[in-house]
Amino acid sequence: MKIKFYPAFLILIFFIIFLIFYKGLQNPNTYTPSVEIKKNIPEFKVKKFKNEKILNSKDIFLDNKFYLFNIWASWCVPCREEHKYLMKFKKDKNIEIIGLNYKDSDENANEFLNELKNPYDIILSDLDGTIAIEWGAYGVPETFLIHDKKIIKKIIGPINEYSFIEIEEIIK
Q: Where are the domains of the chain?
A: 39-171
pLDDT at 123 (0 to 100): 94
Which pLDDT score, from 0 to 100, does residue 1 have? 52
pLDDT of residue 38: 64
The stretch 113-130 carries a mean pLDDT of 93
Q: What are the pLDDT digits (tens) for 13-67?
A: 888 988 888 887 777 665 555 555 668 888 888 988 888 888 888 888 888 899 9
Name the residue type at position 112: F
The pLDDT of residue 3 is above 80: no
**Domain spanning 39-171: CATH superfamily:** Glutaredoxin (3.40.30.10)
Spell out where the chain has E strands.
39-40, 45-48, 54-56, 66-72, 95-102, 122-126, 142-147, 150-156
Determine the pLDDT at residue 49. Answer: 87
pLDDT at 39: 80
Note the pLDDT of residue 167.
93
For 134-148, write each residue's pLDDT tens digit: 998 888 999 999 999
Q: So what's the pLDDT on residue 40?
A: 85
Each residue of 71-92: pLDDT tens digit?
A: 999 999 999 999 999 999 998 8
